[in-house]
Each structure stands twice: as structure tokens, then as C-alpha cells.
Amino acid sequence: MLILPAEQVTYCFVSSRVDKARVQRPGLEYQGRFYLKDATYPQHDKQEAVQQARQKLLANPDQALLLVEEGDTITLWHYARKAQKVSSIFAIDLKQLAAAMAAGDGVAIKSRQFRLKTYPNCFIGSEAVDWLVDYLRMPRQDAVRVGQRLMSENWIHHVANESTFQDDFFFYRFRQDQP
């Protein structure tokens, strides 16, 4: 069992077998191995997280476990022997992502003005990329690709109906917010 800061691991999506079906879910990569999440604890319950990890090790001494500290949480992860990394931008549930983006702690949605024209209920592309990088823990260029996928699959659109998503001062809105 290792206790690591989040900067030493790479978050990703992994595909693993559950019963007889393949399931894609968030995971992490550390030293070329893929791990699945067991539980997350507040940082003040670190001893409980360590105790849970010890109990899992006692039950299965061959199991590789990681405890990853990130901000005010610590998360227990277990090694998934047959898990495979999948391209994260295609594994993302866009309906769920769009809902998270539109929520109160998502992207800032408000009326914006450009060249004397007001665009209601919109957000800025570069701010959306910042949010996606933070929320999905992915590189900026992948976040731009997720933004393009949101556009291509009709979850968001450019206020002037441009066809590409850009990491810049361009206005976008969710389809359900269309005036």
C-alpha cells in the first residue's frame, strides 16, 4: 500500500469486466498499472482510510492498493489486473457532463455583450476549457476535444452557429438555454 499525492498519478477512464460485461469508469494510472476507486474519505478521516486499506490487504495480501491524497480528500484505489485504459473523451457521458457544467458550480452562465450585442445565457469557451480541465482532470487539448464533442452531439452550440469549439473568448450556450 502506498500513500501518494494526486500529482504522482494520472486520472483516466478504464474498461474492466464486471460479471460478463465490460464497463467503463473513472480510474487512475500509476507506474503503468490501472486502478479502480474503492472509497473516498475526508482528509480528517485519513486514519480510517488507512485502516480500511489494511483490512483489504489482510483479506487479500496480493492486492495492490493506493491511497491518493488530493486537497481535502483521500481516496482508496485497488489494482485492476485486467483493466485497460480507454480514450477518455469518448467514454464521457455527455448528458451527465452537460448537467454538471450547467449546475451552480459549473461554468459561469450569464448574459454577455460583444460589439454592442447582448447574448443571454451563455458561457465563454476558454472558461469552459478551464472548468473541463479541472473537473475531468485532463490536458487542455483533450478538454477542447470534449467541447467539440459537446457541440457535435448537440449539447452546446456557438451563439452565432460557428461549427467549431474554441479555447478562446467565444460565446456558447446549452441547447436547452436557447432564447
Q: What are the mean pLDDT values of the chain's consecutive 10-residue runs (179 residues total)?
A: 90 76 79 90 93 92 91 91 75 86 91 92 96 88 92 93 91 78
Cα–Cα distance between 74 and 2 in angstroms, integer? 12
Verify that 106 and 163 share a domain, yes or no.
yes
How much is the pLDDT for 129? 97
How much is the pLDDT for 169? 95
Verify that 70 and 17 share a domain, yes or no.
yes
pTM of the predicted model, to two decimals? Answer: 0.54
Verify that 151 and 77 share a domain, yes or no.
no
Going by C-alpha positions, the residue among 5, 7, 18, 24 that lies closest to residue 66 is 5
Q: Domain of 154: which CATH number?
A: 1.10.10.10
Which positions ≥6 away from 75 have C-beta within 8 Å? 37, 38, 39, 40, 41, 49, 67, 68
Domain end call among 40, 59, 86: 86
Domain count within the chain: 2
How much is the pLDDT for 46? 92
Residue-number span of the structural domain to which 116 is assigned: 88-177
Verify that 95 and 32 share a domain, yes or no.
no
Verify that 68 and 111 share a domain, yes or no.
no
Verify that 31 and 112 share a domain, yes or no.
no
How much is the pLDDT for 74? 94
Verify that 170 and 92 share a domain, yes or no.
yes
Verify that 157 and 106 share a domain, yes or no.
yes
Verify that 155 and 172 share a domain, yes or no.
yes
How much is the pLDDT for 176? 75
φ, ψ (nearest 5 deg) of residue 47: -60, -35
